[in-house]
Structure 1
Amino acid sequence: MGILKSLFGNSDSSKNEKVTFVNWIPLRSIAELENIEKQSFKEPIAIFKHSTRCGISSMVIQRFEGSFDESLKNFKVYYLDLLNYREVSNEVGYKFQVLHQSPQLLVIKNGEAVAHASHYDIATINLKTF
Structure 2
Amino acid sequence: MSLFNNLFGKSKVEPMPDVFWNYLESEQQLEEIKKTSFEKPVTIFKHSTRCSISRMSWNQFQKHYNIPNDKMELYYLDLLEHRSLSNAIEEQFQVLHQSPQILVIKDGVVVFHTSHESIDANDLEEYVSA
Matched residue SS, 2:86: helix
1:59 to 40, 48, 56: 56
2:68 to 72, 84, 102: 72
Stretches of structure 2 that go unaligned for 5 or more consecutive residues are 1-15
Cα distance between partner residues in 2 of 1:44 and 1:124: 14
Cα distance between partner residues in 1 of 2:78 and 2:84: 11
2:22 to 22, 25, 28: 25
Q: Is the 8 A contact 2:61 2:121 kept in 1?
A: no
Matched residue SS, 2:56: helix
Matched residue SS, 2:117: helix
Q: Is the 8 A contact 2:46 2:76 kept in 1?
A: yes
Q: Which amino acid aligns with 2:98?
A: Q
Cα distance between partner residues in 2 of 1:120 and 1:20: 24
1:72, CA displacement in angstroms?
3.2
1:129 is matched with 126
Higher helix share: 1
2:6 is matched with none
1:21, CA displacement in angstroms?
2.7
1:5 is matched with none
Query: Given the two structures, how large is their TM-score scaled by the length of structure 2?
Result: 0.80
Distance 1:22 1:43, change over 3 A: same
Q: Is the 8 A contact 1:20 1:65 kept in 2?
A: no
Distance 1:61 1:21, change over 3 A: same
Q: Is the 8 A contact 1:21 1:65 kept in 2?
A: no
Q: Is the 8 A contact 2:64 2:122 kept in 1?
A: no
**Larger-Rg structure:** 1
- Among the aligned pairs, what percent are the same residue? 47
1:73, CA displacement in angstroms?
3.8
